[in-house]
Chains A and B, each alone.
Chain A
């Protein structure tokens, strides 16, 4: 798991809190992704960045705000979340879009 790292691994937050998830890739990739994984559902793509430009925003609520300051780092800023936002949030990277994606271990988020 040293290729793509995510912090924190677990996060519990109230609905009025503001927190950020961090992802870092050490693979020299040019594309990075945020996915949401809920029980019994397929992985849901949230955001895609290619060469630090956002290229995909899958109708994600504005309470999720991504940031990609450089090709190695990706953040997901969270504010005023809902309990249904509780899930595993996965970061991934790839050489470019259309290539295999490598995932981090995820952040297990619980919204209370």
Chain B
């Protein structure tokens, strides 16, 4: 089946810097993408989503970029804070299989 992957298992950034978490997907038919944040001991929390008819979407301190040409998705976090430390997952909606497919996750560590 198709897979969704993240480029780096761990990303370490300084507090106050911007963070960029990347994700590559392989199913060109996927038309909906979601970023989730999972803190220790909790379930994944919805952050932001984007549909394939868009290439950028902004939320509060977060921006998702979608490049369909190279099948790449990224999550940008502005002014990273200690509370942003978590595992971040991307997920793609596979319309033919009718389900979300999740990547393995990137652990974001924020250094004070």
The chain A residues found within 8 Å of chain B, CB to CB, are 1, 4, 6, 40-43, 45, 48, 55-56, 90, 92, 97-98, 100-106
User: Of all chain A residues, which has the CB nearest B89?
Assistant: A43
Contact of A98 among B32, B36, B44, B45 (CB under 8 A): B32
Docked pose: A105 CA to B40 CA in angstroms:
10
Q: Which residues from chain A contact B89 at a C-beta distance below 8 Å?
A: 42-43
Q: Which residues from chain B contact A56 at a C-beta distance below 8 Å?
A: 98-99
User: Min CB distance, A59 to chain B, in Å?
Assistant: 12
Docked pose: A59 CA to B44 CA in angstroms:
23
29 A-B pairs within 8 Å (CB atoms) are namely: A4-B43, A40-B104, A42-B89, A42-B101, A42-B103, A42-B104, A42-B105, A43-B44, A43-B102, A45-B99, A45-B100, A48-B99, A55-B98, A56-B99, A90-B43, A90-B44, A97-B98, A97-B99, A98-B95, A98-B98, A100-B34, A100-B49, A103-B36, A103-B43, A103-B44, A104-B43, A105-B42, A106-B42, A106-B43
Docked pose: A106 CA to B40 CA in angstroms:
11
Docked pose: A101 CA to B101 CA in angstroms:
12
User: Of all chain B residues, which has the CB nearest A104?
Assistant: B43
User: Min CB distance, B25 to chain A, in Å?
Assistant: 12
Q: Which residues from chain A contact B32 at a C-beta distance below 8 Å?
A: 98
Q: Which residues from chain A contact B100 at a C-beta distance below 8 Å?
A: 45, 101
Q: Which residues from chain B contact A92 at a C-beta distance below 8 Å?
A: 43
Q: Which residues from chain B contact A106 at a C-beta distance below 8 Å?
A: 42-43
Q: Which residues from chain A contact B99 at a C-beta distance below 8 Å?
A: 45, 48, 56, 97
Docked pose: A98 CA to B49 CA in angstroms:
12
User: Min CB distance, B40 to chain A, in Å?
Assistant: 11
Q: Which residues from chain A contact B49 at a C-beta distance below 8 Å?
A: 100
Contact of B93 among A43, A45, A98 (CB under 8 A): A98
